[in-house]
């Protein structure tokens, strides 16, 4: 199949019925976020490149090799949004939203990362996320985690796991870094090449190594938890008991480190086994220093980002073939004359009914049209042929109970009332 054009590598089209599932997910997200008192923010799909370099961190993979960066016609360096947090903070600063006190925002839309695509990883993907600004305490951490967990729970997904960790703050993390370096340095010669590189760039990442060679050294490494300073420990302990009280199960996972520079204290991840190597569907944490580092006031913040494609994959793994309930009506005209009579009725039904009205305008037999009605999962069929035309009536067939009844065609209004009464 030599199509001339294809979607660019790593991008995908959402066609029915997948587009419908995405739509439904978005609708639920809007309702859920509103229930938690969050309001939506939309920002441009591209921003100044410098915003991401400063916001995400110059040493991160995102900035070093994954950004879609281009120069516009006047030579400005712009970048397609690789993540939402920095733009949200930028916009909040630009519109002085922090002056109003604590701020709760959510976003939903595409991000772009130049990566090698594979299952659950795309160059354009869609994220839903929330940012909660202005609360330094663990209540805010609980709030955003609950919100994410509600979404998962609301869909009845049972194999999702909440992983939790604290990576300390700028007071205690340096000491832990030093301790890690001190622990690993004597053994570097026997460890993986990967780890030798990591110790320079991000010693915390050593803990993440899956290389069997490294395992003994990782296991004997000092635990971060024992290095937490008193305030960080207190924060972490409080969050854990809050989660217990809220009935949200979690696993302490010291290997969750987060790749973006701005995280501190709480970090968490929701994972699912159905996603394969990209098991993380939602990741977030606290980033108290970010607003200030982007030139704003000292505003604490916590939030998460959730991958919508991956979320949909979880849903599909769960209920692959649940049949949609029947809904709406299929208008069936047999012959040209019946079509002319039915066309204005279809128009009126579409103005009036909330359920969908389906219609096919080809010259087809009744059998074929009923098959189409089935495909559309219509609840009723309104059949108009020469017999009915002569009698000034139509046949209203209940496709679920397989029963017919005749309805008068004279008044469209009466017909509509009948249909509404019938549950449309």
Stretches 5-13, 148-156, 233-241, 409-417: which one binds RNA (CB under 7 A)? 5-13
The two three-digit tokens of residue 271, written as one number? 């994972």
Measuring CA to CA, which residue among 198, 170, 176 is closest to residue 264? 170
Given 90, 258, 265, 339, the residue binding RNA (CB under 7 A): 258
Binding pattern to RNA, positions 400-419, x when CB under 7 A? xxx-x---------------
Q: Which of 49/195 has CB closer to RNA?
A: 195
Beta-strand pair 103-112/39-40: parallel
Alpha-carbon distances of 125 from 56, 80, 110, 306, rounded to whole Å: 18, 12, 5, 10
User: Interface residues for RNA in 91-130 (CB under 7 A)?
Assistant: 113, 115-122, 125, 127
Binding RNA (rule: CB under 7 A), the pick from 15, 189, 245, 277 is: 277
Q: Per DSSP, what are the bridge partners of residue 307?
A: 127
Closer CB to RNA, residue 343 or residue 395? 395
344-383 positions binding RNA, by CB under 7 A = 362, 364-368, 370-375, 377, 381, 383
Residue with Cβ nearer RNA (229 or 422) = 422
Q: Is 69 in the site for RNA (CB under 7 A)?
A: no
Least CB distance to RNA at residue 307 (A): 3
According to CB under 7 A, which one of 8, 17, 75, 156 is a site residue for RNA? 8
- Write down the least CB distance from residue 115 to RNA, Å: 6
> Which of 279, 293, 294, 318 lies at the binding interface for RNA (CB under 7 A)?
279
The verdict on 306 binding RNA (CB under 7 A) reads yes
Cβ 116 to RNA shortest distance, Å? 4
Q: Which of 48, 69, 253, 278 binds RNA (CB under 7 A)?
A: 278
Number of H helices, E strands in the chain: 15, 16
CB of 20 or CB of 102, closer to RNA: 20
Tokens of 231: 């305030």
Nearest to RNA of 73, 402 (CB atom): 402
Give residues 143-202 in contact with RNA (rule: CB under 7 A). 194, 198
Q: Which residue in this structure is represented by tokens 């549950």?
A: 423
Shortest reach from residue 394's CB to RNA, in Å: 9
Q: Site for RNA (CB under 7 A): how many residues?
A: 76
Q: What are phi and psi of 405, to 5 degrees?
A: -150, 155
- By CB under 7 A, what part of segment 199-228 binds RNA? 205, 208-211
Residues paired with residue 52 on neighbouring β-strands, in sequence order:
none
357 phi and psi, to 5 degrees? -110, 120
Locate 404 and state its tokens: 């017919």
Q: How far is the CB of 366 from RNA (least distance, A)?
A: 5
Rounded-to-integer distance, Cα 139 and Cα 300, Å: 12
Helix (H, G, I), strand (E, B) or coil at 188: helix
DSSP-assigned beta bridge partners for residue 251: 163
CB of 243 to RNA, least distance (A): 19
Alpha-carbon distance of 377 to 23, in angstroms, equals 18
132 near RNA (CB under 7 A): no
Taking CB under 7 A as the binding criterion, the range among 36-44, 236-244, 291-299, 306-314 that sits at the site for RNA is 306-314
CA quadruple 402, 403, 408, 412: dihedral sign: negative
Count of Cβ atoms closer than 10 Å to residue 412 Cβ: 14
Starting at the edge strand that comes first in sequence, how are the strands of the sheet with 46-48 ordered? Answer: 46-48, 77-80, 68-71
């Amino acid at each position: 199949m030599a199509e001339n054009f294809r979607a660019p590598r790593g991008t995908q089209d959402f066609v029915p019925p997948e587009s419908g599932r995405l739509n439904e997910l978005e609708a639920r997200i809007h309702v859920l976020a509103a229930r938690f008192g969050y309001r939506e923010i939309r920002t441009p799909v591209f921003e100044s490149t410098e915003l991401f370099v400063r916001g995400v961190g110059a040493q991160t993979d995102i900035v070093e090799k994954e950004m879609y960066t281009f120069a516009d016609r006047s030579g400005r360096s712009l970048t397609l949004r690789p993540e939402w947090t920095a733009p949200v903070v930028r916009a909040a600063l630009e519109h002085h939203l922090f002056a109003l006190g604590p701020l709760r925002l959510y976003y939903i839309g595409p991000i772009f990362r130049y990566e090698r695509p594979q299952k659950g990883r795309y160059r354009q993907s869609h994220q839903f996320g929330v940012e909660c600004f202005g609360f330094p305490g663990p209540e805010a951490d609980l709030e955003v985690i609950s919100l994410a967990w509600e979404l998962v729970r609301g869909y009845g997904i049972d194999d999702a796991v909440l992983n939790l960790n604290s990576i300390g703050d700028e007071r205690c993390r340096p000491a832990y870094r030093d301790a890690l370096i001190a622990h690993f340095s004597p053994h570097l010669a026997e460890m993986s090449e990967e780890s030798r590189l990591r110790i320079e760039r991000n010693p915390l990442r050593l803990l993440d190594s899956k290389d069997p060679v490294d395992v003994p050294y990782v296991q004997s490494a000092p635990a971060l938890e024992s290095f937490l300073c008193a305030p960080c420990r207190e924060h972490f302990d409080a969050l854990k008991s809050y989660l217990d009280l809220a009935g949200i199960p979690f696993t302490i996972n010291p290997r969750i480190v987060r790749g973006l520079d701005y995280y501190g204290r709480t970090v968490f991840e929701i994972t699912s086994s159905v996603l394969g190597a990209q098991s993380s569907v939602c990741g977030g944490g606290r980033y108290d220093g970010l607003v200030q580092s982007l030139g704003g006031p000292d505003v604490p913040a916590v939030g998460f980002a959730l991958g919508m494609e991956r979320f949909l994959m979880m849903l599909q793994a769960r209920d692959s073939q649940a049949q949609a309930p029947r809904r709406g009506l299929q208008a069936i005209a047999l012959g040209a004359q019946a079509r002319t009579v039915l066309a204005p009725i279809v128009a009126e039904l579409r103005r009036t009914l909330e359920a969908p009205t389906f219609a096919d305008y080809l010259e087809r037999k009744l059998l074929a049209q009923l098959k189409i009605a089935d495909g559309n999962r219509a609840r009723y069929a309104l059949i108009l042929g020469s017999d009915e035309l002569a009698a000034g009536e139509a046949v209203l067939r209940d496709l679920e109970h397989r029963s017919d009844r005749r309805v008068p065609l004279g008044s469209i209004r009466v017909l509509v009332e009948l249909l509404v009464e019938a549950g449309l």
